[in-house]
Structure 1
């Protein structure tokens, strides 16, 4: 009996060795970082906006017209002040100096120049010539709007009328060129620019599909001014 108990005791006393599995170190998988490569954006080459340039051109011409009109307004006010000063000097000493009952009327900044009292034809012609040299043909035509009939027929009136014709020709207003050119050649037939005015008339008639009428205009030009440069140019068109 004792050997049996001894063997049971030995068996129960034996300690079972439990193998604890060693867990491997948790290693994070190395993730390869891929640097983001920014793609270089190519900016397009700047090209000029033709519509924007045309708008700026038109705004510049409108500003030039306003400057001219403001100059005329200043000159009108100066002339009125000068007249008042002369009137006060010529009045008797015991007569009180006349006072202005109201503010002087100012000229409109916008609108047609027909409603504006021009300070002087010479001044207007000078301003128009400056605008024409700068390529502001619309401003030139606006300043000389009343010169389309030749005015009093003076030298300044003839120059203003022909400059108006040239500005309308630059603007491509053929109907205005025909009307002004015919009046100029009829009224100022002895002028040095009469032949050129007729040539411009024929050129515009040709452009608006009036070829037969244009040829008659050039033939008339050659008959009236045979030695002019405009006559030689007209003969080339008739060949």
Structure 2
């Protein structure tokens, strides 16, 4: 069996005295898309931030390509191939779209042309500064900029939050193509469960900092009872 790209073993982590993740274990294979689902406040964003090294790590292990990295600093984890797109987007607002992309570029298959192919809107706006973009365009730029670092795995924290339905559909399609066509390994936190399950291979549901359900995304999408129980979705009603 092939070695997991990322593996968490009995991870406990949080902020200060607060334990948010309590014994989380799972692995992510290369070229797979994994959805992290659950109601607000269950630890989804904390899990991604823990993988990147931004929380207080209490116990357990995080392995990247078989090597423990829980003591490695966040910027070094990024250099190792973990690409994080935070909720805040953090684009360079005073730089143009193209400058945002090229300033962080590292060698690899993702270049400006490939990002523009994925997000044609960015090509149209390439001379616009970051602060001249809509919320959806800023999110596309945040994802595109992280792709320009050529990560081995992309961590997306609620990329569709607060966006218009047409942009949700456009971004969701692009993210799905990253997994299916470009072979990008992906971990995705998102409230839009139906969209998320349609673009990933595996799904993990968190409740109170623990994994309470794990399944193939297509199976969970058909499991309305589980979705309603843990996420509050009445799909098909």
TM-score scaled by length of structure 2 = 0.29
Q: Which has the higher helix share?
A: 1
- Choose between structure 1 and 2 for higher RCO, CA contacts under 8 A separated by at least 6 residues: 2
Higher strand share: 2
**Whose Rg is larger?**
1
